[in-house]
C-alpha cells in the first residue's frame, strides 16, 4: 500500500502548527480556516482531535508550560535558590512565546504541565517549612510577577525619538529615547532587580515563620 502523501493529522501536529501561528502572528491569527490551511487539511478534521479552538490554544499554552524547568525543586535544596532559578526558567519560556501569555494568565485549569508546575512550587515550599496558606500565596505572587514581566517590554514602550520627551514637560526623561535600543538589557536587569527584592522579602517572612511558627 502506498504511503499517504501528507503526514496523518495528530494532536501534536495541530499544536505545533497553532504554536507557530501564535508566535509569528498572535492569538487573533489562529482560526479554524487558517490552521487547516497551514496543515493542508479540511477545517472539520481538526475537531476529530480537539473540541474547540480554545482547547487548541490551551494545548499550546500547556506546551509552553512544559518547557519550564522544574528540576531545581528535586532533592530538597534551598527553597529560595530553587524559587529564583524556577522564575528565571519560567520567564525564559514566556519570553520565547510572549503571545501565548494571555492564555497562560487564565491559570492552569486542567492543563497537565501547568498543574505539574503549580504542584512543584507548592510542594517545594511546604517541604521547606512554609505553612500551606503562605505556600499558596508564594506560588500566586511568583506567577503574577513572572507573567507580568512577560506581558510587554518596559523599555520597548518608549519611542526612540528624543523630541518626544520635551524637558519642559518631562524633565527626568532626557535619556528615555535610548531605552528601546537597549531593550533586552534593560528588561533583564529590571526582572533581576524585582526578583531579588521579592525573594529578599520572602526570606524575611520565612525567618519570622521559623521564629514564631
Q: Categorize the per-residue pLDDT at 8 as very low, low, confident or very high, splitting at 50, 70 and 90.
A: confident
Catalogue all structural domains in the chain, each as residue range(s) with its CATH number. Answer: 69-211 (1.10.357.10)
Phi, psi of 152 (to 5 degrees): -175, 165
pTM over 0.95: no
Cα–Cα distances (Å) from 192 to 2, 142, 197, 210, in that order, read: 56, 13, 9, 27
Residue range 72-78: mean pLDDT, rounded: 90
Q: Which of 106-115, 138-147, 162-171, 204-213 has the lowest mean pLDDT?
A: 204-213
Buried b (16+ CB within 10 A) or exposed e, 90-116: bbebbbebbbbbebbeeebeebebbeb
Which pLDDT tens digit goes with each residue over 99-153?
Answer: 999 999 999 999 999 999 999 999 999 999 999 999 999 999 999 999 999 988 9
Q: What is the mean pLDDT of the chain?
A: 92
CA gap 93, 196 in Å, rounded = 20
Amino acid at each position: 500500500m502506498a504511503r499517504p502523501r501528507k503526514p496523518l493529522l495528530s494532536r501534536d501536529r495541530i499544536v505545533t502548527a497553532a504554536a507557530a501561528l501564535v508566535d509569528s502572528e498572535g492569538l487573533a491569527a489562529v482560526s479554524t480556516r487558517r490552521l487547516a490551511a497551514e496543515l493542508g487539511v479540511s477545517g472539520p478534521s481538526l475537531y476529530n482531535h480537539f473540541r474547540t479552538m480554545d482547547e487548541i490554544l490551551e494545548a499550546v499554552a500547556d506546551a509552553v508550560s512544559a518547557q519550564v524547568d522544574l528540576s531545581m525543586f528535586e532533592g530538597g535544596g534551598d527553597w529560595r535558590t530553587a524559587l529564583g532559578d524556577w522564575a528565571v526558567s519560567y520567564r525564559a519560556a514566556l519570553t520565547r512565546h510572549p503571545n501565548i501569555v494571555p492564555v497562560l494568565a487564565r491559570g492552569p485549569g486542567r492543563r497537565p504541565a501547568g498543574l505539574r508546575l503549580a504542584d512543584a512550587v507548592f510542594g517545594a515550599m511546604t517541604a521547606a517549612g512554609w505553612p500551606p496558606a503562605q505556600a499558596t500565596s508564594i506560588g500566586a505572587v511568583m506567577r503574577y510577577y513572572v507573567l507580568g514581566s512577560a506581558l510587554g517590554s518596559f523599555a520597548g514602550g518608549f519611542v526612540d525619538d528624543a523630541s518626544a520627551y520635551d524637558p519642559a514637560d518631562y524633565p527626568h526623561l532626557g535619556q528615555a529615547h535610548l531605552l528601546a535600543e537597549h531593550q533586552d538589557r534593560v528588561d533583564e536587569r529590571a526582572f533581576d532587580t524585582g526578583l531579588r527584592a521579592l525573594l529578599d522579602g520572602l526570606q524575611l517572612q520565612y525567618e519570622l515563620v521559623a521564629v514564631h511558627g
